[in-house]
Structure 1
């Protein structure tokens, strides 16, 4: 597939994305979405998460347009729209790596509490979305005695975050296929006891239970995933290990440093190929400074963007449902509409995604986050 660096349609859609991000951040800044702990945090990572999840919406919005017009689910042909997905996911993996390598560095991890917190954070909303996937799938592929064994096998794959089709129905596109990143997240989580032993060169309490179990689960996941993506988690290590040195650089930064950060960001988003070594390393360089306080002139510390980051997991998991509903309404066929005209729908779709994400965060995510903190 030929890839273009620039196109009129990509610039229009990018402009509408920036406009929608600006308006939503202004409106969200007036809402009470963050609890005391989250509100007291002073990290650009919160705002970054909001931007990343929103960029993924743009990425899949364009892919859905391709499906509207061709019937095929393929990546964008314009580099910037493709990288709205690839670079965003890379940053998400780096954030996970940074947060949990920081825990490993500090030591004294309560492993049972760590894994329970991950279940409470990830699973409730995933199960909610999964119920929708099951209902849609069964609507198009009703259960029979013949396909019942295949259905249970399909259920098992989805409950393990692996996804898959049922009787050739592409269930993954109901949520824009975002479930694939969750299995990598879990693979990394189960590698943490191994990293703990390597980092501290000592065992920990009840290692004889946690370490073998984590190793077995990690190997199971490793066999079912593309190992090179784990490189992104590892690229977060310098931002943890050289934290003090990076912060010294930020304390002495000049306008040239700001120009370097903006230029590198543009080069990565506009000109690099998704998930290549060059893109991964470049993204990791940017991230090492963001994780340690660099905020692009306080942009990432914007109160509205931080609140957008608070609901970013809901945005990430639910936006595909909105796009799927729109595609179903438009009959998922080869419609005659130009991308420039279709892009005008984006602010409406983005608004719906944010509203639904606020609701799912408040009524599904937040109650379990509170339980995690109490536990």
Structure 2
């Protein structure tokens, strides 16, 4: 069995066990299906675990041969497809918000977003800073560089400190938050265009200026298409829903084939992948759930932890293999390495729960 197949098998088993464990630990409320698109919550859970598997493999190639990457399209796409779908979900949910909210309090919106994103991120950054300074102690000569390093991290930049690759402590995941914030910042402009009226709220115009700064100088345009490609899911909602009711078996076969093709045959972030994912996402968001799999309560609980798991799993991988040296590399023993995955996922989930429960949620509820 090759690396991709064995990684897929182990990660699928790990995700299933995690979902069933969470289903047992957290009782499902009676009105659980009366909320927003439940399949998106389940999808988030699967995608977050896929990202863990993706970085778990990248850590292996990095420590074995010094390369942060993979030769397998499937392993690369565990990360690329997951990130793309997170962007599509974000775009879709914010387009919905714009369409259904003629009057927006932009100051309140950005405060709410900051309270959701920053508390856990700052806590994670504190751990990254502590680990970095353990390896590269601060002194009078490098203090200015440390301030620059801290400033860049708070702006979600993948940077190191004095040659130490600090961003790999969390597997470099913070780069995606740049694009999330750029989309948040451009929303007032989209809102004004859609509703055909100008807002005079200072927060809106400040946000548009920030969006201009990020889009032109601090990001790559190709990723923004993934947010834009969420629009077909809105525009073609009724025809897709009708097709799901009339041709359920055909849609099911189509989605299984499309899923396999996207993961194994498309190049990460290529136009082919983006367009196919737009189709795939449009079908899912309008109710398709892979025979109700995405509505599984345990997967939805994983989805609730997805942001925390996304931010913290890299630290578990880094500490386990980089600091505590729990595996001997340079032996080409991938199967031996793979047996560490259940432990990594379990510890990462516990850490994600603690971070979500005691760091992120108290700020969200304020």
Q: How does 1:248-267 map to 2 (within 5 A)?
A: 248-267=242-261
CA contact (8 A) 1:53 1:88 kept: yes
> After alignment, is 38-47 or 102-111 more displaced?
38-47
CA distance in 1, matches of 2:343, 2:327: 19
Residue of structure 2 in register with 1:247 after alignment = 241
Q: How does 1:57-136 map to 2 (within 5 A)?
A: 57-70=52-65, 72-106=66-100, 107-136=102-131
Q: Secondary structure at the match of 1:190?
A: helix
CA contact (8 A) 1:10 1:81 kept: yes
1:24 correspondence with 2:18: yes
Q: Secondary structure at the match of 2:319?
A: helix
1:217 correspondence with 2:210: yes
CA distance in 2, matches of 1:33, 1:368: 24
Give the alignment's Cα RMSD to 1 decimal.
1.9
Residue of structure 1 in register with 2:361 after alignment = 366
CA distance in 2, matches of 1:250, 1:326: 45
Q: Secondary structure at the match of 1:145?
A: coil
Residue of structure 2 in register with 1:4 after alignment = none
1:288 correspondence with 2:282: yes
How much does 1:211 deviate?
Answer: 3.8
C-alpha change, 1:36 and 1:233, in structure 2 (3 Å) is farther
- TM-score, normalization by structure 2: 0.94
C-alpha change, 1:210 and 1:300, in structure 2 (3 Å) is same
C-alpha change, 1:237 and 1:132, in structure 2 (3 Å) is same
C-alpha change, 1:345 and 1:365, in structure 2 (3 Å) is same
Of the three residues 173, 180, 183, the one matched with 1:178 is: 173
How much does 1:290 deviate?
Answer: 1.1
CA contact (8 A) 2:28 2:297 kept: no
Q: Secondary structure at the match of 1:29?
A: helix
Of the three residues 129, 136, 139, the one matched with 1:141 is: 136
- TM-score, normalization by structure 1: 0.92
Q: Secondary structure at the match of 1:74?
A: coil
Q: How does 1:177-216 map to 2 (within 5 A)?
A: 177-204=172-199, 206-207=200-201, 209-216=202-209
CA distance in 1, matches of 2:64, 2:206: 47
Deviations 1:248-268 (A, max 9, x none): 222223311111111111100
CA distance in 1, matches of 2:315, 2:305: 16
Residue of structure 2 in register with 1:44 after alignment = 39
1:335 correspondence with 2:330: yes
Q: Secondary structure at the match of 2:79?
A: helix
CA distance in 2, matches of 1:74, 1:135: 23
Q: Which runs of 4+ in 1 moved over 6 A?
A: 33-39
Of the three residues 129, 154, 173, the one matched with 1:159 is: 154
CA distance in 2, matches of 1:116, 1:39: 29
Residue of structure 2 in register with 1:169 after alignment = 164
CA distance in 1, matches of 2:306, 2:246: 32
CA contact (8 A) 1:33 1:310 kept: no
Q: Secondary structure at the match of 1:300?
A: helix
C-alpha change, 1:27 and 1:358, in structure 2 (3 Å) is same
Residue of structure 2 in register with 1:3 after alignment = none
CA distance in 1, matches of 2:32, 2:142: 47
Specify every segment of 5 or more residues in structure 2 that has no aligned partner in the other structure, as ranges. none
CA distance in 2, matches of 1:139, 1:237: 46
How much does 1:75 deviate?
Answer: 1.3
Specify every segment of 5 or more residues in structure 1 that has no aligned partner in the other structure, as ranges. 1-6
CA distance in 2, matches of 1:322, 1:34: 29
CA distance in 1, matches of 2:132, 2:21: 36
Q: Secondary structure at the match of 1:191?
A: helix
> After alignment, is 96-105 or 356-365 more displaced?
356-365
